[in-house]
Structures are given as structure tokens and as C-alpha cells.
């Protein structure tokens, strides 16, 4: 998982384990999730911050050289074009710490995931 020293219990504990610059990035991503999904529940799952709203919404994690953002495979598929400059896989994208973080893109992916989860919940 991430480059953490211990097993954090809360998202706040997780964030506090990193250098100040990385903490600021993680707090910004956390704030965006809370803005776009105010009812989302946060927890640590798979050793990283996880947000759920009518199902898993997103995970994110800090690593030595990047922030891993995990909006599930559907969250990646819809943004394939915008993600071309980044290393990404079926359900993840890496934002390098050496470059500006694309908070606008992260916000779009979160909005998409909220809509998807609401639609799934309605159709159940």
C-alpha cells in the first residue's frame, strides 16, 4: 500500500504521517471529496483513506513520489483522454508529487463516482 510507518485508524492519523507538503495535498483531496459528497463516510480501508457514499466512492494514498488516486475502473474509463499524461491502470491514477496536482480532474472523477453510486442505488 502506501509508505506509512504504522497502521493508522483514522484518515487524520494517516495524513499526519506524511511531510507537510504531502499532508496539504491529501487534505485538499479530502476536502474535495467532502465538498462533492458531503454525506460520504471516511475510513481507512486497504491501509488508505477511503470514502463511501452508497458504496465505495474513492480511495487515495501517498507514496514516495506520487499520490495514488483510485476512483474504481469506471472512474478511470470515463477520463481516459484526460489521463493520458499520467501513469494509470484499470482503477488507479498516479499524480507525481513533482508536478502540479490536477485537483480539477480529481473533482470531476469524484462527481462522476457520486452520480454512478446514486444511479446504482436507485436501480437496486
Instruction: Assess if residue 123 is contained within a domain.
Output: no
Instruction: Assess if residue 67 is contained within a domain.
Output: yes
Local confidence band at 4 (pLDDT 50, 70, 90 cut-offs): very low
Local confidence band at 7 (pLDDT 50, 70, 90 cut-offs): confident
Instruction: Assess if residue 5 is contained within a domain.
Output: no
For residue 44, what is the domain's CATH number?
3.90.1150.200
pTM value? 0.92
Q: Whole domain around residue 49: which residue ranges?
A: 11-118
Residue 124 pLDDT:
78
Instruction: Assess if residue 23 is contained within a domain.
Output: yes
* CB burial readout 85-111, b (16+ within 10 A) else e: ebebeebbbbbebeeebbeebbebbbe
Three-state SS at 41: strand
Amino acid at each position: 500500500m502506501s509508505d506509512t510507518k504504522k497502521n493508522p485508524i483514522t484518515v487524520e492519523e494517516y495524513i499526519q504521517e506524511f511531510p507537510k507538503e504531502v499532508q496539504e495535498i491529501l487534505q485538499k483531496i479530502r476536502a474535495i471529496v467532502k465538498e462533492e459528497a458531503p454525506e460520504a463516510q471516511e475510513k481507512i480501508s486497504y491501509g488508505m483513506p477511503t470514502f463511501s457514499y452508497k458504496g465505495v466512492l474513492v480511495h487515495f494514498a501517498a507514496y514516495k513520489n506520487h499520490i495514488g488516486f483510485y476512483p474504481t475502473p469506471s472512474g478511470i474509463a470515463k477520463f481516459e483522454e484526460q489521463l493520458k499524461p499520467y501513469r494509470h491502470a484499470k482503477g488507479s491514477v498516479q499524480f507525481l508529487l513533482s508536478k502540479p496536482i490536477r485537483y480539477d480532474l480529481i473533482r470531476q472523477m469524484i462527481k462522476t463516482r457520486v452520480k454512478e453510486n446514486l444511479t446504482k442505488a436507485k436501480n437496486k
